[in-house]
Amino acid sequence: MNVFGDSGGTTGLVDDANSGEEANIAETITGGSGEDETGGAVDVLINTANKSISVAGPDGGGVSATDLFPSAASIYGDAIGTEYVSLVANDVTIVFGDEQGLPPSSSVGFSNLFAFVPNTNGTEFDVRFESDAAADASLLTEIGGTGLNSDDDTSNDPSFTISGVSEPNGQSAIESGSITEQPASVDTTTSDNTSQTLDITIE
């Protein structure tokens, strides 16, 4: 998804913003801004530190994760480096096995693949993941130990409650270590172009 529009480089991406601009973006996502200080939710990020994980832009071309929001050092505290990419601010495709391939017909686990930055107004949110493919046919098969599925029953989807923070102020609380992370599993196939759609609901 992309909630801010184009920053000037590639449609759907927030790239090359300066630290002040990134601070405002972080506040908009997690805390609200202007008169609507309750408008924020949580940020969901993908960790691309592993060489088997990268991201592509809306046009399918590869993009540098370190150029995408958050790219300013420590905008979300030391726990979130520039190798993390916001899935709220940027419209990207997660790519597995591009730079460093994955073994075929195997299950590969990634620790701390997804990160969650809490709401800074103290509001609790649930983040739920759903796939358009059945668990036995998808690439990304588990998040936080729970299998992805495509049925209409949302009660068995990977879901995580992200508690809000509000003291001494939201950003300070984030920087003091309130960010949570979840592992995920990828099941590879014999094809080099398996794909799926991942829906993320924040409510």
- How many alpha carbons fall within 13 Å on the CB side of residue 188? 17
d(CA 82, CA 76): 10
99 or 94, higher pLDDT: 94
Provide the pLDDT for residue 140.
87
Provide the pLDDT for residue 72.
76
Distance of CA 26 to the CA centre of its chain: 13
pLDDT reading at 29 higher than 60: yes
Provide the pLDDT for residue 2.
47
**Mean pLDDT in residue range 155-163:** 91
d(CA 199, CA 197): 6
Phi, psi of 42 (to 5 degrees): -135, 160
Q: Which of 184, 135, 128 is nearest to 159 (CA)?
A: 128
**Mean pLDDT in residue range 151-178:** 78
**Mean pLDDT in residue range 147-152:** 78
pLDDT reading at 126 higher than 70: yes
**Mean pLDDT in residue range 39-49:** 91
